[in-house]
Amino acid sequence: MRNMMFWGLATLVVFFDQLIKYFVDTHMAVHQSIPVVHNVLYFTYVQNFGAAFGMLSGKRAWLIIFTFIAFIFILLFHKTMGDDPLLKWALPLLIGGAIGNLLDRLRLGYVIDYVDFIIWPTFNLADMCIVVGVGLMVLQMIRKSKEEEIKS
C-alpha cells in the first residue's frame, strides 16, 4: 500500500506538471506573460537552461546526472523510511518534481517555467513539489530531533 501511494502521488505530480508545461509550450510564445493577479502573479513562459534561479545554466549533462543520483537516494530512503507521515508525502513530491523537470531536460534541453511573482525567479509545479518535499523532510528532521531530545 505504501508503494502504491508513493508512486500514485509521484505520477500525479509528473502528469500535472507535464500537462501544464505542454499547455504553456503550445499556447504561449517564449517570454509571453499573462497577468493572473495584476502586479503580483503572472503566467510567463520561460525556458530555463539551468537549475533553480538559472544556476548552472548550460550544464545540462551535470543536471541530468545529479537528478539520477538524487532519484536513487530518494528511492533508497523510501525503502527504509518506515511509516513517517511527513516522509510519505515528502518523498513522492520530490521524485515527481525531479522526474517532471528531468523529462523537460531530456526532451527539450531546458525546463519550462511559468509561475512568475515578478520579485522571484519564474518556476513551475515540479519546482513547487520539490520545495514542499524538502520542507516536509526538514520538518520531519526537526520533529525527530525534538523527540530524541525528550527521550534523553
The answer to whether residues 90 and 140 touch, using CB atoms and an 8 Å cutoff, is: yes
The catalytic position among 17, 104, 116, 127 is: 127
Torsion sign over Cα 50, 88, 125, 109: positive
The answer to whether residues 20 and 114 touch, using CB atoms and an 8 Å cutoff, is: yes
Q: What is the DSSP letter of 91?
A: H
104 is catalytic: no
User: CA 15, CA 34: separation in Å to the nearest integer?
Assistant: 23
The answer to whether residues 48 and 110 touch, using CB atoms and an 8 Å cutoff, is: yes
116 is catalytic: no
User: CA 41, CA 46: separation in Å to the nearest integer?
Assistant: 14
Residues in a beta bridge with 33: 44
Q: Is 53 helix (H, G, I), strand (E, B) or coil?
A: helix
Catalytic residues: 113, 127
